[in-house]
Chain A
Amino acid sequence: METVIAVENVATVLGGHEIHRGLDLHVTRGEVVALIGGSGTGKSVLLREIIGLLRPQSGRIMLFGQSVWDVAPEQMNALRRRFGVLFQDGALFSSLSVEDNVAAPLFEHTALPRATCRRLARLKLALAGLPADVARKRPSELSGGMRKRVALARALALDPELLFLDEPTSGLDPISGRAFDHLIRLLADSLGLTVFLITHDLDTLFSIIDRVIVLSAGRVLGSGTVDELKNIDDPWLRDYFAARASGRESAHGN
C-alpha cells in the first residue's frame, strides 16, 4: 500500500524543551489512524509540523511522497489542496455565512463560478449531515456540534485524499460525539479518505479507529489496534485504559 504520511526521525525543541526525539511513524492510504498520548507529549505540535505550520529542528516529513519542508512554495500549495484540516474549535470565519465558509476553499482554489461553488458547498453540508436551513446562517447562530460539522464540511470542500482532525469530539456531548465519530467513519469509507486524528476520547478509539499510535517521551511508544496496545506495559497507557473501565463500572453503579 502507498504511504501517505511518513514522519522520519523528527526532533523538535520548543522554548528549550525537547518535544520529539527521533520520532518515526507511517500512515498508509485508506487507514483511519488515531494519535494519542498524555498532555504535553507534542501531539498537536506534530500535527502542526505535518501540515506545514511549524518546522521541526531535524528529520523529514513526507506527504504523498513529497517532503513538506523541502518542496517549493507552489508545490506546497498543490500539496495543501490534497489534505483538509479540522481545527479543534472549528475556526470558522465569523464574518462569512456557513455556505461561504465551506465554499471559501473552492472560491480560492478552483476556476468554478461562485454560484457553483456555493452549490457544491451545500453538497458538502448535506454530506456532513447538516439540515438545509443552516446554509445562509452565520456560524455564531449554530450550536457547538453543528459548528464542528460545518468545519468538517469545509475540510472536505476540495475533496482531499487525507483528512487531519484535531480532537474532533472535544467539547461535544457524548451523543453528538458518537454521531460525529460515525460520520467520520462513514465519510472515510465512502470517499476513500485517509484520516489522521488526535483524540483523548476513548469511545472514538474503540468505535472507528483502525490503528492507534501512542506518543510518549518524544517517541512512538507503540502502534496497533486497541487490543494490541493493552499488552504494552506502560504506566500511562494502563491508567488511560483503566479510566474507561472504572468509568464504565461507576456508570453501572448508579
Chain B
Amino acid sequence: MSEARAHFDEAGGALIASGAWHADSAKALPARHGKAVHVLDGAGITALDTNGAWLLLDAAGVHEGVEPPELRGFAPQHRALMELVARHVGRTGALPPPRREGVIEITGRGAMAMGGHVVGLLDFVGHLTFELAALIGRPGQWRWREFGAQVRDVFVGAIPIVIGMMFLLGVVFAYLLGDQAVRYGANIFVVDGLLLAMLREVSPVIVAVLVAGRTGAAITAQIGTMKVNEEIDAIATLGLSPLAVLVIPRIVALLVALPLLVFIGDIAGMAGGMLVAKEQLDLSYRMFTDRMLDVIQLKTLLVGLGKAPVFAVFIAMIACRMGLTVSRDARSVGEHTTSTVVQSLVAIIILNAAFAVAFVKLGI
C-alpha cells in the first residue's frame, strides 16, 4: 500500500490527495492557512475508506459552512464513497467535548442526592409500616425459610471475623490504657476502662460497621441483581409483595443477629484485653475477671446492646432500599452497593452521636 500524500495548490484552490487514505492518514494533511478549497482532486488515490474520506472532506472545509468542494478525478468506487460520507457530514461537526462536572457541581449533586436519600428512606419506612401491618393481618406470608437463611448468612457467617477483629481491638486498647495506667500504679483500673469502652462504644459501633460492609453490601448487590433480572417484577406478578418476601425477613434477621454479634464482640474484646493485662500488667486472669465482675453494671451492657437493633434496622433498610432502586444495568448495581455502605456508615456514626448525647442528658 502506498503512503497517503496530499498537498494544497493555493492558486487553483485545490487539495490534491494520493495514496491510501484511512484513519491514520491525518498526519499527511497539509496546512491551508485559512484558504478555501474549491476542488478535491483524488486522481492519485489508490485506496480509500470512510475514515479517510471524512478526513479529506473535513480538510476541504465541509464543516465550515462553505460550498462543498468539487470532486475531481476520483475512481468511480471512491467517488461513491466520498458522496456517501458527504451525505452524512451534517452530523459530524465539531461539538464541545462531553461535559465534565466541576467540583462545585459534583458537591451540589452529592448534597442533593443525600437529601434525596433521606426523603427516600422516610418514604420507604412508610411503605414498610403498611406492609408490616398487612403481614400481621396474614401471617401466612411470613417467610420462615428466607428468614432462617438470612440469619445463618448474617449471624453465623460473621462470627469468626467479629471475634477476630474485636479480640485484636481489645489487645490494642488494653495495651494503650495499660501503658498509661502502669505509671500511676493503677494497673487494675485498666479493667474498668476497657470494660466501659468495649461494651458501651467500641463493640456496638465496630460490629455495626462490619455488618454494614459485609451484609449491607451483599443485600444491595443481591436485590439489585434480582431487579436487573426482572425477578422483583416476577414476584409482584405472582401476587406477592417484594417488601414482605425480600425486605422484611432481612430486616428482622439483622435485628436478631446484630445484638448477638455485639455480645460476642464484647466477650472477644475483653478476652483480648485479658491477655495483654497478664503479659504487660501482671494481672492474672483471676484478678482480671474478679475485677470485671465487681465493676460491671448491667446498665453498661444494655446501653451497648440496646444500640445494636437500631443500627441493624437502619443498615437493613438502607441496603434493601438501594437494592430496589437499582436501574437495569451493571454499572448501577456497583454504584448502589457503594452508596449502601457509605450511607450505612454515616447513619451509624450519626446515630451513635445521638445516643451519646441522649444518654448524657438522661443521666445514664
Residues on A facing B (Cβ under 8 Å) = 94-95, 97, 99-100, 106, 109-112, 114-116, 118-120, 122-127, 132, 136, 138-140, 156, 158-159, 190-192
Do the beta carbons of B92 and A126 come within 8 Å of each other? yes
Identify which of A111, A123, A159 contacts B89 (C-beta below 8 A). Answer: A123
In the assembled complex, B331 has its CB within 8 A of some CB on chain A: yes
Do the beta carbons of B22 and A94 come within 8 Å of each other? no
How far is the CB of B296 from the nearest CB of chain A, in Å? 53
Query: Which one, B48-56, B196-204, B270-278, is touching chain A?
Result: B48-56
11 extra interface residue pairs, beta carbon distance < 8 Å, beyond A123-B85, A139-B329 = A94-B329, A110-B23, A111-B26, A112-B23, A112-B24, A119-B58, A119-B93, A122-B91, A123-B54, A125-B91, A191-B49
5 nearest CB pairs, A to B: A159-B49, A126-B88, A140-B329, A110-B23, A126-B91
Q: Nearest residue in B to A127 (C-beta to C-beta)? A: B88
> With A123-B54, A190-B80 in contact, do A115 and B97 touch (Cβ < 8 Å)?
yes
Chain B interface extent, by class: 20 to 34
CB neighbours of A156 from chain B (8 A): 50
Report the bound CA distance from A64 to B14 in whole Å: 36
CB neighbours of A116 from chain B (8 A): 26
Do the beta carbons of A112 and B26 come within 8 Å of each other? yes
How far is the CB of B64 from the nearest CB of chain A, in Å? 14
Do the beta carbons of B84 and A190 come within 8 Å of each other? yes
Identify which of B24, B27, B97 contacts A118 (C-beta below 8 A). Answer: B97
Residues on B facing A (Cβ under 8 Å) = 22-24, 26-27, 49-52, 54, 58, 77, 80-81, 84-85, 88-89, 91-95, 97-98, 327-331
> Would you give 28 A-B contacts (Cβ < 8 Å), ordered by A?
A94-B329, A94-B331, A106-B51, A109-B23, A111-B24, A111-B26, A118-B95, A118-B97, A119-B94, A120-B23, A120-B51, A120-B92, A122-B91, A123-B54, A123-B89, A123-B91, A124-B50, A126-B91, A126-B92, A127-B50, A127-B84, A138-B329, A156-B50, A159-B49, A159-B50, A159-B52, A190-B80, A191-B50
Do the beta carbons of B23 and A158 come within 8 Å of each other? yes
Q: Nearest residue in A to B26 (C-beta to C-beta)? A: A112
| Most A C-beta atoms less than 10 A away, residue of B22, B51, B52, B58 | B51
Report the bound CA distance from A95 to B334 in whole Å: 11
CB neighbours of B50 from chain A (8 A): 123-124, 127, 156, 159, 191
